[in-house]
Structures are given as C-alpha cells and as structure tokens.
Amino acid sequence: MRCVILAAGDGSRLAPLTLQHPKPLLHVLGRPLIDYTLETLVAVGICDLILVVGYQQEQIRDWVGDGHRYGARVNYVPNPNFELENAQSLYAARHAVADLPFMLTMADHMISKDIVHMLLTRRLQTDTLCVDRRASSAPQLSDATRVWVNSHGHIRQIGKGLAHWNAVDTGVFLFTSAVFDAMDALRAQGKFNLNLSQSVTGVIERGNGLQACDVSGAWWTDVDTLEDLQNVEAELNRR
C-alpha cells in the first residue's frame, strides 16, 4: 500500500523556528520530525511513500532524498498552493495514487506502529479514519479535530467546532478514490480552498460512508506549537 504524507505547510505557529526551516525538519530529541514518521511506516512494511511538499521544499527533498536510507521509495508531489488549506495537498496527490486505496498521514503527526497495524489488520477497502476515544494530552486536544462516531462504527460528523463529539481525529486515514470524487463535487460548487474535514464530510454526505478505526490507547501526538514540541520531547523521554 502507498502512503501519502502531507508536508507542504509553512508551520507558521512554530515561528520563528520555521522561518528558515520547514516544520518536518524541526528536531525532536535531536532528530527531524519527519524521520519518526518515515521510520514508523517502513517498520510496518509501508515503503512506497508520496511526500507532498511546498514550503521550503528543497530542504525536505535534500534531507529525505529518494528514501533509500530509510528503506523506502519516496516520490514527491509539489503543492504550489501550500499556503491554503491542507486538502490542497491531498488533491495535488490524486494522480500519484491513481485509483488504488492509500493511507494518508501528516508530517507533523507522530504516530506509533500500533496505529498503523490496527488500521491495516482490519483489511478495510473503504474510507476509514483512525480515531482516539481516550485522547487526553495537550498536543492531542489543543487543536483537535473532533468526530462523532455512531453505534455502528461509522463517522457521522467531523470538525474542530463540533459541540457533541466522542472521539478525536488522529490524522491517519485510509482513503479510496471516493475522497477525490467528493472534492471534485465540492470544487464544482466553487469551493476550492478545502480543508480535510470538509473533504471528508463530502465523502460522508455523498453516501460513501467513513469507517472509524478505534486506536484508543495507542500513542500519537500532533506538533503545532512550541509547547507541543516541548511536550512531545518530554513524553518521549518518559517513554
């Protein structure tokens, strides 16, 4: 299976650290953030990687290269509109993944191998989001995308502003081409600057459905701010 990794954003909330370097290359315990993501994917057998790049992309290309030293094959997709919402990066990768199911994750989300294992062992061929019902740390909750999962394990709503929610988006998806169909339908309505929540809502509303893969208890974290970075380093030291 292929994995698309979104690494195009300018990481403005981590300025001034990101004024000279892209967020995926910021160090966590002396190592670039993106190394953790790439090594986790390779460790579970996902070696065909598509890296969507934009801001300071030359630095990312120079560091990661063709992926050989990670044991991976890395192809790059440029997103010239990286200053817009994050779904622009996903849409930029549509031709690279063709019509095959693919995994999606973020270069600024650190995820454990357990999460990827739980997603892949379900052998799903439908659009799926890994959710955490027991998220409690500050990096997980401070800018969380909330979801409502019904009793049948289907996600019915997703968004940062949900008043009623019972799980948190971990940033790990399994997508089919249905997500691009939903985005094309929204773009036909003049909605071009889409975020991932809007795109996923389009999948739900078109009747394709979105499964929840409950990964509660598995470790993951989001890195958006300097406080997040400090919390992550402290957590890794404890672990």
> Where residue 59 falls among pLDDT bands split at 50, 70, 90?
very high
pLDDT in tens, 158-172: 999 999 999 999 999
Please provide residue 147's backbone torsions phi and psi, each rounded to the nearest 5 degrees.
Answer: -135, 155
The per-residue pLDDT for 14 is 92
Task: Compare 38 and 137 and report the one with higher pLDDT.
Answer: 38
Give mean pLDDT, residues 212-224.
Answer: 94
Q: Is the pLDDT score of 136 beyond 90? A: no
Residue 199 in this model has a pLDDT that exceeds 90: yes
This model's pTM is above 0.85: yes
For residues 147 and 206, the model is more confident at: 147
Q: Candidates 3.90.550.10, 3.90.700.10, 3.20.20.70, 3.40.50.720; correct CATH number of 2-234?
A: 3.90.550.10
Backbone angles phi, psi at 63, to 5 degrees: -75, -50
Find tokens 């990687």 and name the residue.
49
Q: Which two tokens stand for residue 183?
A: 């985005």
Q: How far apart are the first and last CA of the chain?
A: 29
Q: Please report the pLDDT score of residue 207 as a whole number.
A: 82
Q: Is residue 138's pLDDT more than 90?
A: no
Separation of alpha carbons 105 and 89, rounded Å: 11
Residue whose structure tokens are 């996923």: 200
* Cα–Cα distance for residue pair 6/149, rounded to 1 Å: 25
3-state SS track over 80-117: CCCCCCCHHHHHHCHHHHCCCCEEEEECCEEECHHHHH
Q: Residue 229 and residue 33: Cα distance in Å, rounded?
A: 10
Stronger pLDDT, 108 or 77, i.e. the higher one = 77
Determine the pLDDT at residue 163: 93
Lowest mean pLDDT among 48-52, 87-91, 185-189, 234-238: 234-238
Whether the Cβ atoms of residue 170 and residue 88 lie closer than 8 Å to each other: no
- pLDDT at 189 exceeding the cut of 90: yes
**198 band by pLDDT with thresholds 50, 70 and 90:** very high
